[in-house]
Amino acid sequence: MKKNKNYYAVLMAGGVGSRFWPVSTSAYPKQFHDMLGAGDTLLQKTFSRLNNFIPAENILILTNERYNELVLSQLPMISSNQVILEPVMRNTAPCILYAALKIKKMNPEGLMIVAPSDHWIEDEKAFELNVKSCFDKCEREEVICTLGIKPTFPNTGFGYIEFEQIASQESSSVLFAVKQFREKPDYETAKSFLKQGNFLWNAGIFIWSVRTILEAFKEFQLEQYELFNSGYEIFNTSGEKDFIDKNYPKADNISIDYAILEKAREIFVLPATFDWNDLGTWGSLYHKLGKDEDDNAIVSGKVLSEDASGNMIRLPKDKIAVIDGLKDYIIVDKEEVLMIYPKSKEQSIKSVLAEVKKRFGDQYI
């Protein structure tokens, strides 16, 4: 099927994914790993999902300079011009503005989806239909759209989107006006969100026309807009890198949420019709993987278990592990690091990482 030449995607692939340590490290983050044991890395899987309906040459990868070679080796079908490199980290607003200006120069009629590169989505056709519904609205109107995830439990690890409820709207393609974006709540607040019924998890997937997002930056982040727009004439040319190296560090360190989304007026959310997981922790990965007869999730390697259940296990490909008496643990064996850690404490892995760095050096992180 012919793909719409006005469709563009920007994949956010610069994060470190520290809660997936020791597999995910600052030198080789989780998006470049086959976390699911499915044969493709998370980045490759996300690219493929978008390439179902977006031309390959219209998919840009936003990442840190140090990951340039990793991106190009994993996505040999793209050119180096499609990799947008941040010389320094400045949160999500500056890099999205930079990408939008590059796309405008390629195609002023461009429609953009901005999405993380490391999420799990199984029903790719439903994802495509949801995104196209948003593209259609953004083509007709000067609006910002986002995909929200129907909450299945009172999660305190996600931000939420509160939307205007409309009675008797049952269609799966209905977009609702966003009332406000809400920060990660405490448990009681999250429970009240679910009870009200007009709250969705914020998956960080945004859709807009190039024209609309640039107008929003002009209105709400004029200084930032002028900084990047001053290099517009040399974007997509050989002079771009020098301009970015010199000017990118001057950009404000601010997220797209604070810079634009909390200020913009015309924002709509589509409740996603696909299963979704942000794969943010070993526990979230455990829930998405198949289990053996003892309820252990094994990504690779071979396991002989005795009185061991509910464990998340990742081993080198041909390694055998004998596990006895462990329940609900994360067991990860990687060349120079072995981690055996309770699943219930997985949110503390970041602090473990800091302690490892302090005691043994940063070559392990």
pLDDT, tens digit, for every residue of 206-230?
999 999 999 999 999 999 999 999 9
Single-letter amino acid code for the residue at 94? P
Burial 256-268 (b: 16+ CB within 10 A, else e): bbbbbbeebeebb
Q: Give one word for 307, left, alpha or beta, with left for phi > 0 and alpha for psi -120 to 50.
A: left
Q: What is the rounded CA–CA span in Å between residue 60 and residue 107?
A: 14
pLDDT in tens, 324-348: 999 999 999 998 999 999 999 998 9
pLDDT at 172: 54
By CB atoms closer than 10 A (0-12, 13-18, 19+), residue 186 is: exposed
* Strand segments (E) across the chain: 7-12, 59-64, 83-86, 111-116, 120-121, 144-149, 160-163, 176-182, 199-209, 267-271, 276-277, 297-298, 302-306, 312-314, 320-324, 329-334, 337-342
- Would you write out the chain's pLDDT as a tens digit for each of its 365 residues? 678 999 999 999 988 888 899 999 999 999 999 988 888 999 999 999 999 999 999 999 999 999 999 999 999 999 999 999 999 989 999 999 999 999 999 999 999 999 999 999 989 999 999 999 999 999 999 999 999 999 989 888 889 999 987 654 555 568 999 998 998 999 999 999 999 989 999 999 999 999 999 999 999 999 999 999 999 999 999 999 999 999 999 999 999 989 999 899 899 999 999 989 888 889 989 988 999 999 999 998 999 999 999 999 999 988 999 999 999 999 999 989 999 999 999 989 989 999 999 999 988 88
Q: What is the rounded CA–CA span in Å between residue 342 and residue 328?
A: 6
Give the domains, in start order, of the chain with CATH numbers: 7-277 (3.90.550.10), 282-364 (no CATH)
What tokens were used for 181?
């974006």
pLDDT at 36: 85
What tokens were used for 37?
């044991």
Burial 233-246 (b: 16+ CB within 10 A, else e): eebeeeebeebbee
Q: H helices then E strands: how many in the chain?
A: 11, 17
Burial 309-325 (b: 16+ CB within 10 A, else e): bebbbbbeeeeebebee
pLDDT at 168: 46
Instruction: Indicate the pTM of the whole model.
Output: 0.91
What's the chain's average pLDDT?
A: 92
Cβ–Cβ < 8 Å for 247, 174: no
